Amino acid sequence: MVNRTTFGISAVQRQSLVISLTAFFTSLLLIALVSVLILISFRGTAYFWPEPIYMVTGTHHDGTTFSVLANVFDEPANEDVTLKYSDTEHPYGFQIQLSREEIDTSLLANESAEIKLLDGRRVLAIPEHIVVPSKPPQTLDKIDAIIEDVAQISAQIEELNTRHLASIHEALSQFDKRDVVADAPARERLVASFKEYQKRVEVLEKTRAEYTLSVSFADGAPFIIPISSIQDVDFVSRLSTFEKWKVVLSEVGVFLSDSPKQANTSGGVFPALFGTILMVFLMTIIVTPFGVLAAIYLSEYAPNTALTTIIRVSVSNMAGVPSIVYGVFGLGFFVYTLGGSIDELLFSETLPAPTMGSPGVFWAALTMAILTLPVVIVATEEGLRRVPEGLKAGSYALGATKIETIVRTVLPIASPGIMTGVILAIARAAGEVAPLMLVGAVKFAPTLPIDGEFPYLHLDRQFMHLGVLIYDGAFHSQTDGKSASMMFAACLLLLVVVFVLNILAVVLRARLRKRYLKG
C-alpha cells in the first residue's frame, strides 16, 4: 500500500476525489432535473386547485377601510400578501398586494362561492338565491339543475340560429343576387318565416334572461349574474379534500376540452393541444418515409466514396442548425415560393387573397419535417448498421433480391432504430416554438384545422400550438399571476404529452426489439 501520510495526494485519494467530483456533477444535474419537474408540476397543478375564499377586512395606509371576498396568497417568504378579490367595483376579479399590517381580519367565508363564467372570468361572491321566471326564488342547492335547464334553452337558440335562420338568410341572399323583386311571393314567404323564427329566438332569449343568480359581495352590495353566462358554482371554502379533487378533475376536463378565454389567460387549451398533435402527426407522416428512404440509400446503396461521407456528415450537422433558420426557410420557400406558386396554378380566382400562400398547418408540418429529418436519418442508419451481415447473406442465399432483403429482413430488424428516430423527432417538434410562429402557429386561431366543412382537413389554416401558447402566456405572466399558472399548466401538459409519446415509443421499441432481435 502507498504511504498515505506523504505530501500531496495518494493514488487512492486521487481516485476517490475523481469519483466524488463526477458524482457531484451528476447530482447537480439530477437536482436541476428534479427541480424543473417539481416546479412545473407544482405550479401547473396549482392552476386547477380550488383556493378557499376568505372574508378579508382591513384599513389601507391612507385610512380607507375595505372588506372583500378574496383568495389569499400569503407566503411567509414574501413581504406582501397577494389578494385576488371581487367587489362591486371589480366584480370579475382584481389582484392587489397588501402589506400585512393593512389586513385586520381574514376569515374563511363558508357561504361564499367561486362562480366560473363561460367566458373564463370568475366572480367571488356570496350567492343569495336564484331567480327563475314565473316561480318563487329557488334555493341554491338547485343551481346545477337550473344551469342545465338554461343550457338547454341556449342550445335551442343556437339551433334556431344556425339551422333555420342561417339557411333562410342564405336563400334570401340568393334572391338578392338574382334580383328577385322584393314582393315576390316566395320571397315574402321566406321573410315571414324568418321573422317567425326570429320571434321564437327573441322569446327564448327573453325567458333565458329571466334566469339569474343574485349574489352579494363582502360589503353586502348586491350583484346579478345571468345564469346563461355561468359555467359552474363552487362553494370552495367548505369543500372537503375529496370534493376539491372532484373540482380539480372537472377543471382539468375543461382545461383539456375548452378553448382559451380572456386572451389565453383562462379557459382551456384544447385547440392548442389539438393543433400540436395534428402538426406532429402530419410531420411524422412526412418525415418517416423521407428519412427512412434516405437512410436506406445512404447505408445500403450509396457507394463508399468521399461524396457519401460528405453527405453523411452534412446530414448530421443539419441537426445542429438553429431552428429559427428552418422557420425562415419554411416561410421563404414553402409559404411564399411553393404556396404562392400553388395559388397561382390552382386558386388563381381568389388571388390576391392567398390560399396556400400564407402560413398554415401543412407548411408548419413540412418545415418541422425538414428540421427533424437528420434525427430520423441518423437513427435509422444506426439501426440499419446493426442488422447482422449473416442475416442479409441468409436472405440473399434464398434467392432474395436486394430490395426484397431490405423490405423483408433489414427493415423489420432496424425498426426499433427507426422508432427511436421518429420519437426523437416527435419530441423535438412538439416542443419547438420559434420556427412554428413563422410558418403557421398563432396565439389564437378562431377555427380548428379539422371541422365538418368540406374538405374537413384544412391544411391551409393557421393553428394553435402548446409551445406558442406557453410563450404567449409567459409574456402575460409578467403582469398577471393567474395567467402564469395557466402557462405552467400548459407546460405541464406539454411535458405530459412528450412523456406519454416517449413512453409509448419505448414500449413499442421494446416490443419490436423483443420480436426482431435475439433475446
Partner 1 sequence: MLKLFEHNTLNVNDINKDQTAVEVKNLSLWFGNKQVLNDISMRIPRNKITALIGQSGCGKSTLISCFNRLNDLYDGCKYEGEIIIDERNINSRKVNVSRLRTNVGMVFQRPNPFPMSIYENVCYGLKLQGVKIRRHLDDAVEGALKQAALWDEVKDRLFESAHALSGGQQQRLVIARALALKPDILLLDEPTSALDPLTTLFIEELMDALKKQCTIIIVTHNMQQAARVSDYTAFFHQGRLIEYADSDTLFTMPEKKQTEDYITGRYG
The footprint of partner 1 (CB under 8 A) covers: 304, 388, 390-401, 404, 408-409, 412-413, 515-519
DSSP 251-298: HHHHHHHSPEETTTTEE--HHHHHHHHHHHHHHHHHHHHHHHHHHHII
Distances (CA, A) of 166 to 163, 171, 185, 505: 6, 9, 20, 47
Distance in Å, CB of 391 to partner 1, minimum: 5
Nearest to residue 150, comparing CAs of 232, 207, 235, 225? 207
Q: Are strands 212-216 and 65-73 parallel, antiparallel or unpaired?
A: unpaired
Distance in Å, CB of 398 to partner 1, minimum: 4
Kindly tell me which of 131 and 400 has the beta carbon lying closer to partner 1.
Answer: 400
Distance in Å, CB of 288 to partner 1, minimum: 21
Alpha-carbon distance of 215 to 128, in angstroms, equals 5
Alpha-carbon distance of 209 to 172, in angstroms, equals 30
Distance in Å, CB of 303 to partner 1, minimum: 8
Kindly tell me which of 11 and 393 has the beta carbon lying closer to partner 1.
Answer: 393
Kindly tell me which of 31 and 393 has the beta carbon lying closer to partner 1.
Answer: 393
Kindly tell me which of 329 and 396 has the beta carbon lying closer to partner 1.
Answer: 396
Kindly tell me which of 4 and 515 has the beta carbon lying closer to partner 1.
Answer: 515
Query: 15 exposed, middle or buried (CB, 10 Å; 0-12, 13-18, 19+)?
Result: exposed
Q: Which H or E element spans position 447?
A: none
Kindly tell me which of 123 and 296 has the beta carbon lying closer to partner 1.
Answer: 296
Kindly tell me which of 303 and 320 has the beta carbon lying closer to partner 1.
Answer: 303
Q: Which amino acid is at 337?
A: T
Alpha-carbon distance of 14 to 4, in angstroms, equals 11
Residue 79 phi, psi (nearest 5): -75, -40
Kindly tell me which of 146 and 414 has the beta carbon lying closer to partner 1.
Answer: 414
Kindly tell me which of 28 and 391 has the beta carbon lying closer to partner 1.
Answer: 391
Distance in Å, CB of 507 to partner 1, minimum: 19
Kindly tell me which of 185 and 390 has the beta carbon lying closer to partner 1.
Answer: 390
Distances (CA, A) of 101 to 82, 98, 211, 359: 13, 8, 42, 54
Kindly tell me which of 240 and 305 has the beta carbon lying closer to partner 1.
Answer: 305
Distance in Å, CB of 296 to partner 1, minimum: 16
Distance of CA 88 to the CA centre of its chain: 34
Distance in Å, CB of 411 to partner 1, minimum: 12
Distance in Å, CB of 519 to partner 1, minimum: 7
Distance in Å, CB of 390 to partner 1, minimum: 4
Alpha-carbon distance of 106 to 470, in angstroms, equals 34
DSSP 3-state of 7: coil
Kindly tell me which of 14 and 408 has the beta carbon lying closer to partner 1.
Answer: 408
Alpha-carbon distance of 99 to 74, in angstroms, equals 10
The residues, ordered by sequence, that sit 6+ positions from 35 with a Cβ below 8 Å of its Cβ are none
Distance in Å, CB of 399 to partner 1, minimum: 4
Distances (CA, A) of 5 to 15, 31, 204, 431: 16, 36, 95, 55
Nearest to residue 278, comparing CAs of 430, 422, 425, 424? 430
DSSP 51-111: PP-EEEEEE-TTS-EEEEEEEEE--TTSSEEEEEEE-SS-TT-EEEEEEGGGEEEEEE-TT
* Neighbour tally for 322: CB within 10 Å: 10
Distance in Å, CB of 400 to partner 1, minimum: 5
Q: Which amino acid is at 87?
A: D
Distance in Å, CB of 344 to partner 1, minimum: 47
